[in-house]
């Protein structure tokens, strides 16, 4: 009896081991194959990485930072609540209450306003700012070389850029003139991307309005539009500057067919050079007793006209500075249409995950032994897949 029971159990085990579910049963639980953005089944097609803020957490080098060497004074516009209090006090005392563009000063120390604040997470409820050292208009400056202060952003790889944006700190003085530069060779050489100024021709030798044609699509323009969007309590200047790399350029709609514009939007680094601030009325600055007011941190001056000539070198003027809360660069990792992702390579460098039998950090060449057709940038019409004479496999 025991022998029969054992034989029965062995038979059941053998049946369970040999039994296999059929293909139809397995397909019920099979995951669908992951779609490859670079191939339509077995046919190569144009693919591009996601649009990103290429500046996010990227390193920024500032030529000047408030309080980096020693405590310094910086001045900013009073907020609406402070202005209302000032106006009420002025009315009660019988003094002038015209404080619509007044400045209030504070002190800064090391790491209060570091450059890393430019590319951190932008939170409107907790605004972080970089501030330059105080500016002495037309002079040697305080660690910043007069009015000229630079911010240099390293992207770490070639990107094709759509825009460059600067968000200025609330209540901070606004720049009147600045230049956006780009480098396509990791900072070895620089070319101007865009000029901004209220006096384009006088400062940069360019008109404030320029029509771009197909003959000058790589020419930077100068704009004074940042002075006209409306009043925000800061002398009428904009709280943000946003430069669109392709705006008004005729070949923008067909970028794949325009090597000129492809080169124009390509950058590895961005540099901002602030040339000139909007300045307060020099007569008001001369009336300030700086040492006494510095101790209280509560003096104010009236904002006056904006002229290109140097203003007062008084101590109060040194509290004026450049201040930016957000430095954003929108674009895509440059992969020439041959990759849908960028990721760190074995050396830790950001590189394209190349498809179409291409290779290089930007998929800028064919893989070895795949030279049966010349390398080309992928387009919507032709993926320009690199071919081998001996194989047609999709690698």
pLDDT range class, residue 306, cuts 50, 70, 90: very low
Are 147 and 141 contacting, i.e. CB atoms less than 8 angstroms apart?
yes
pLDDT range class, residue 225, cuts 50, 70, 90: confident
The per-residue pLDDT for 108 is 92
Average pLDDT of the residues of the chain: 79
Q: With 80 as the cut, is the pLDDT of residue 107 above it?
A: yes
DSSP string, 161-182: EEEEEEEEPTTPPPEEEEEEEE
pLDDT range class, residue 24, cuts 50, 70, 90: low
Q: With 90 as the cut, is the pLDDT of residue 179 above it?
A: yes
Q: Among the ranges 156-170, 216-230, 315-329, which has the highest mean pLDDT value? A: 156-170
The per-residue pLDDT for 298 is 37
Q: With 50 as the cut, is the pLDDT of residue 226 above it?
A: yes
DSSP string, 189-255: S-EEEEEE-SSHHHHHS--S-----TTSTT---EE-GGG-S---SSTT--SEEEEESSTT-GGGGGG
Lowest mean pLDDT among 63-67, 94-98, 130-134, 377-381: 94-98
Q: Among the ranges 92-96, 139-143, 166-170, which has the highest mean pLDDT value? A: 166-170
The per-residue pLDDT for 19 is 53
The per-residue pLDDT for 78 is 75
Write out pLDDT tens, residues 372-385: 889 999 999 999 99
The per-residue pLDDT for 320 is 87
Strand partners, 177: 276
Q: With 70 as the cut, is the pLDDT of residue 176 above it?
A: yes
Write out pLDDT tens, residues 109-163: 989 999 999 999 888 788 999 999 998 765 544 444 457 899 999 999 999 999 9
The per-residue pLDDT for 295 is 35
Q: With 50 as the cut, is the pLDDT of residue 12 above it?
A: yes
Are 280 and 248 contacting, i.e. CB atoms less than 8 angstroms apart?
no
Mean pLDDT of 170-187: 93
pTM: 0.78
Which one is predicted more confidently, 278 or 342? 342
Q: With 70 as the cut, is the pLDDT of residue 314 above it?
A: no
Mean pLDDT of 265-284: 81
Residue 262, CB-side half-sphere exposure with 13 Å CA sphere: 14
> 253 exposed, middle or buried (CB, 10 Å; 0-12, 13-18, 19+)?
exposed
The per-residue pLDDT for 135 is 84
Q: With 70 as the cut, is the pLDDT of residue 100 above it?
A: no
């Amino acid at each position: 009896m025991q022998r029969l029971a054992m034989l029965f159990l062995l038979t059941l085990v053998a049946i369970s081991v040999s039994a296999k579910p059929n293909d139809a049963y397995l397909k019920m639980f099979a995951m669908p194959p992951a779609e490859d953005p670079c191939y339509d089944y077995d046919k190569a097609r144009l693919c591009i990485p996601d649009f990103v803020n290429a500046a996010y957490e990227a390193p920024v080098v500032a030529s000047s930072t408030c309080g980096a060497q020693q405590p310094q004074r910086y001045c900013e516009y009073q907020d609406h609540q402070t202005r209302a209090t000032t106006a009420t006090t002025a009315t009660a005392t019988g003094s002038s209450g015209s404080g619509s563009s007044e400045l209030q000063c504070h002190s800064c120390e090391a790491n209060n306003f570091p450059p890393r604040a430019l590319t951190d997470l932008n939170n409107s409820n907790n605004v972080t700012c970089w501030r330059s050292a105080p500016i002495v208009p037309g002079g040697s400056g305080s660690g910043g070389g007069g009015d000229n202060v630079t911010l240099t952003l390293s992207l770490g790889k070639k990107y094709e850029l759509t825009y460059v944006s600067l968000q200025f700190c609330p209540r901070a003085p606004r720049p009147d003139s600045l230049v956006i530069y780009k480098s396509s060779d990791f900072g070895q050489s620089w070319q101007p991307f865009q000029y901004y100024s209220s006096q384009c021709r006088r400062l940069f030798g360019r008109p404030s309005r320029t029509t771009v044609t197909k003959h000058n699509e790589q020419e930077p323009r100068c704009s004074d539009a940042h002075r006209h969007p409306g009043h925000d309590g800061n002398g009428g200047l904009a709280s943000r500057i946003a430069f669109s790399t392709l705006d008004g350029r005729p070949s923008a709609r067909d970028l794949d067919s325009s090597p000129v514009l492809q080169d124009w939007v390509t950058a590895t680094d961005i540099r901002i050079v602030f040339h000139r601030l909007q300045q307060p009325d020099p007569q008001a600055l001369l009336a300030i007793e700086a040492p006494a007011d510095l101790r209280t941190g509560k003096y104010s001056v009236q904002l006056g006209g904006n002229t290109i000539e140097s203003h007062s070198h008084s101590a109060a003027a040194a509290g004026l500075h450049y201040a930016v809360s957000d430095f954003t660069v929108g674009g895509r990792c440059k992969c020439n249409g041959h990759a849908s992702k960028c990721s760190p390579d074995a050396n830790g460098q950001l590189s394209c995950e190349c498809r179409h039998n291409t290779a290089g950090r930007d998929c800028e060449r064919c893989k070895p032994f795949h030279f049966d057709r010349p390398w080309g940038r992928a387009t919507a019409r032709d993926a320009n897949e690199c071919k081998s004479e001996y194989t047609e496999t999709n690698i």
